[in-house]
Structure 1
Amino acid sequence: MPTPILISAGVAILLGLVGGLMTPIDDWYKNLRKPSWQPPNWAFGPAWTIILGLAAWSAVLAWGAAPDEAARRTVIILFSFNALCHFLWSPLFFRLRRPDWALVEVVFLWASLVALIVGLWPISHLASLLIVPYLLWVSFASVLNYTIVRLNQPFG
């Protein structure tokens, strides 16, 4: 298997595993007031698995389509910033029990996805489009995060 595939798959798996480990469904979370339209807890794992798989595929396509070192550097920077933003949300919300801080952080995660879509478009249209489900899910999750903050504040 070529190196970009191994790296992309490894990062996606790592983000999925760490995200899962940073997301305890404990009494604190169970006792939060949540909207009736929140998906069941079991739906989040499959959703993230699909989304991170599409993101890994996007990274491989973008890397392969990059015409030069500058474009490959752009791909690395965009995906690295996204991975960092992706990584930070769960610990803020679940471990630190600060949905309000996670709501601030999700703005950066959302912006990293817009940057990926825009930045990958000139390199590979398909790689860019594969990020759209991620953006849609994070947009939905942002509204959910906002609603949980609104229903349960103050925190801390």
Structure 2
Amino acid sequence: MKKIHLFILFLIINFSGLALGSWLMGDVVTGEWYSNLNKAPWTPPGWVFGATWTLIMFCFSIYLTYLFSIRKSKFVMLIYSFSVLLNVSWNYVFFNQHLTVWGLVNITLLTLVIIYLFITFRSDYIQNLKYLLLPYIIWLCIATSLNAYIVFNN
């Protein structure tokens, strides 16, 4: 029963983070600034972002449930909190403040944090569950490339 509670807690935190990030970016996606950016040719349509983040946060919540079941420490909590902060703040930095270079720094740090989780916590119990982080890592690599394209082509 403890795992169910953890899973629900992580779902709430992760999806709340997405909602907060969305709120912090405002209506910029439909606004003039974003519309006028020279975006990468591989930029997916808008609906892909919502579907992808839903899958990512579901998988991430499962991974975190097992990680915190076997390795509940202040260090792990700090890494997770830092990842949530980076994830939420990127929307504000990039979309709301139009600080594309700082957005690139932010999303690069987030990518490194998630890769750190993938590499570091690999006990026998969670070894195969680390692959639940792959959608997150892949998407962050795509998002980083999209952000980098804007930085270097605008």
Provide the TM-score with structure 2 as the length reference: 0.87
Whether the aligned pair in 1 keeps the contact of 2:86 and 2:110 (CA below 8 Å) is yes
- The structure, 1 or 2, with the larger RCO (C-alpha pairs under 8 Å, 6+ apart) is 2
Please report how far the alpha carbon of residue 126 of structure 1 lies from its aligned counterpart in structure 2 after TM superposition.
Answer: 3.1
Whether the aligned pair in 2 keeps the contact of 1:78 and 1:115 (CA below 8 Å) is no
Whether the aligned pair in 2 keeps the contact of 1:120 and 1:127 (CA below 8 Å) is no
Please report how far the alpha carbon of residue 76 of structure 1 lies from its aligned counterpart in structure 2 after TM superposition.
Answer: 2.1
The one-letter code matched in structure 2 to 1:84 is L
Whether the aligned pair in 2 keeps the contact of 1:22 and 1:95 (CA below 8 Å) is yes
User: Paired residue for 1:84?
Assistant: 85
Please report how far the alpha carbon of residue 75 of structure 1 lies from its aligned counterpart in structure 2 after TM superposition.
Answer: 3.4
Correspondent of 1:4 among 3, 6, 12: 6
Correspondent of 2:37 among 24, 27, 32: 32
Please report how far the alpha carbon of residue 21 of structure 1 lies from its aligned counterpart in structure 2 after TM superposition.
Answer: 1.8
Provide the TM-score with structure 1 as the length reference: 0.86
* Overall identity of the aligned pairs, in %: 26
The one-letter code matched in structure 2 to 1:6 is I
User: For 1:60-82, what per-residue CA distance to the aligned partner results, in whole angstroms no more than 9, with x for missing partners?
Assistant: 12222x1xxxx211432332221
Runs of 4+ residues deviating >6 angstroms:
none
How many angstroms apart in 2 are the aligned matches of 1:42 and 1:31? 19
Whether the aligned pair in 1 keeps the contact of 2:18 and 2:88 (CA below 8 Å) is no
User: For 1:42-92, what per-residue CA distance to the aligned partner results, in whole angstroms no more than 9, with x for missing partners?
Assistant: 21111111111111111112222x1xxxx2114323322211111111111
The one-letter code matched in structure 2 to 1:60 is T
Aligned length: 147
How many angstroms apart in 1 are the aligned matches of 2:77 and 2:126? 14
Specify whether residues 85 and 77 from structure 1 end up closer, same or farther in structure 2 by C-alpha distance, changes over 3 A only: same
Whether the aligned pair in 2 keeps the contact of 1:85 and 1:112 (CA below 8 Å) is no
User: Paired residue for 1:17?
Assistant: 19
